[in-house]
Chain A
Amino acid sequence: MEYRQSGRCSLARAIPEVTGVITHLPTLLQIVRDGGHVGVLRKRGLEYSQIAQLIQTAIAEGLLQLLDESLELTEKGTRALAEAKRSGGFTGSGGWIVPAEDSRIDRANPNDVYLPGPSWKRE
């Protein structure tokens, strides 16, 4: 099964309403595999409703399964993710390296005063 950027895979044809977002399926699978959140998809401009449809599609296709309110990759999903990587479903490192959103901090205002913590030492 291929999830290429062209959006012309059989899955996208079968489910017209997700045609526009189906190209993000490999990223969703990777997020679920890594226990991440959907920040990357949101930054790409996807609405929560679109992400929900993407998740529903992945479940319907047997790529993800819900166990005790927790989403997991199925074997088919694991294979699809590996296939997507091999076939270039992720283009460039930006396509498959997921930023560590948990480590991101809010941008500081230029006028804010910054006081380093106690671990900071002048060299």
Chain B
Amino acid sequence: MREPSDDDCVTELRPDLIERVVTLFGRKGWPLPGQNLGRPREASTFRRFCEMLRQLSQSEREMLLQLTADFLYCPLGGYLASLHRALSSIPPDAFGDSAEVLFVPLLAPKDYGKAKSGQAVAYHAMASRAEATVLANKSVQAANDPRELTGKFGTRSSCQIIFCDDFIGTGDTADEALQAYRQEFRAAGDQVAVVCLVAQRDGWNRVKAQAPIYCDTIRSKGITDAEAFEDPAVAKELMVQIEARLGVAVDYRFGYKQSEALVSMERTPNNTFPVFWSTDKVDGAPWPAPFPR
């Protein structure tokens, strides 16, 4: 157990630290104070980040700043460019003789009928057909829901099915979606692939074992796999300390199933460390998470 030091007391921020946050936000291209970005959530990210730091000890702050340096924020505005990169990574001959390409949201059966990010990605993928070489000379369509595979698209033949989502964390959802496809929706002549914008390496590996996966960014675990920490064990201990104060439920410690993600998409995945997204009350006030879900 680490011995408590003078760094462990919580005090107001010093101007130097606020300036470091400005520099960090500048490097990341995140909205800075005084910039009019029009989106209230983004405009207040800096304030909430500083308020979060104020409630941490000096050593916790340093650890959080290290983690934030590696944080990926990809809101809706960045989806198209990221999707183009993911589609461009598909080898030109990957779809073989398939004359049809069908983009389908990567949904677990429990989410059928719900509005999910996978639908937005599937729609934009279909709309990007003119810019992706791999889609040239193919009939490209998008489904709203995997159930359309036995309905509207039930008469397909020799079709390349591409399941789409913006983020893959543990790979649980992808597992369920692919399993449901194999059991209920598969047709003779189908080929399957998965396209996503960002994936955690563990989830990516799980999907890769079942189908080709094309992804813009693959992310490693924020502390365990990070080279930035001299001693990851100390960083983990500090995070345990913070999460204990936040009252994070067991399943979400270090992110859902300990994903240790440092990612915020249009919505922050629960795979990300909760200190960045949890707004549960701490000492009677909501935690000022910079990337709330």
Contacts and interface: CB of A to CB of B under 8 A. Distances in A.
Interface of A: 17-18, 28, 31-32, 35-39, 42, 47-53, 55-56, 59, 64, 66, 69-71, 101-102
B16 A53 contact: no
Nearest to B18: A52
B18 A39 contact: no
B34 A101 contact: no
Given A49-B33, A49-B34, A52-B21, A71 B16 contact: yes
Contacts of A69: 16, 19-20
Contacts of B50: 48-49, 52
Interface string B17-51: 01111100000000011100000000000110011
Given A36-B14, A37-B12, A71 B19 contact: yes
B35 to A, nearest CB: 10
Contacts of B179: none
Contacts of B244: none
Contacts of B15: 28, 31-32, 37-38, 51, 55, 64, 71
Contacts of A101: 11-12
A38 B12 contact: yes
Contacts of A38: 12-15, 18
A50 B16 contact: no
A66 B20 CA distance: 10
Contact of A52 (B11, B12, B14, B46): B46
Contacts of A52: 18-19, 21-22, 32-33, 46, 50
B34 to A, nearest CB: 5
B13 A37 contact: yes
A103 to B, nearest CB: 11
A49 B47 contact: yes
A28 B16 CA distance: 11
Contact of A55 (B11, B22, B46, B51): B22
A53 B18 CA distance: 10
Contacts of B47: 47-49
A29 to B, nearest CB: 10
Contacts of A36: 14
A19 B11 CA distance: 28
A59 B19 CA distance: 10
A56 B32 CA distance: 11
B12 A17 contact: no
Nearest to A58: B15
B14 A37 contact: yes
A68 B217 CA distance: 32
Nearest to A51: B18
B12 A55 contact: no
Q: When A and B form their complex, which 3 residue pairs have the shortest distance between CB atoms, in order from nearest?
A: A49-B33, A48-B50, A39-B12
A33 to B, nearest CB: 11
24 contacts: A17-B34, A32-B15, A37-B11, A37-B12, A38-B12, A39-B12, A47-B47, A48-B51, A49-B33, A49-B46, A50-B33, A51-B18, A52-B18, A52-B22, A55-B18, A55-B22, A56-B33, A56-B34, A64-B15, A66-B19, A69-B19, A71-B16, A101-B11, A101-B12
Nearest to B53: A48
A22 to B, nearest CB: 13
Contacts of B12: 37-39, 42, 101
A73 B170 CA distance: 49
B176 to A, nearest CB: 42
A66 B123 CA distance: 47
A103 B14 CA distance: 15
Contacts of B46: 48-49, 52
B18 A48 contact: yes
Contact of B19 (A47, A50, A55): A55
Contacts of A31: 15
Nearest to A18: B34
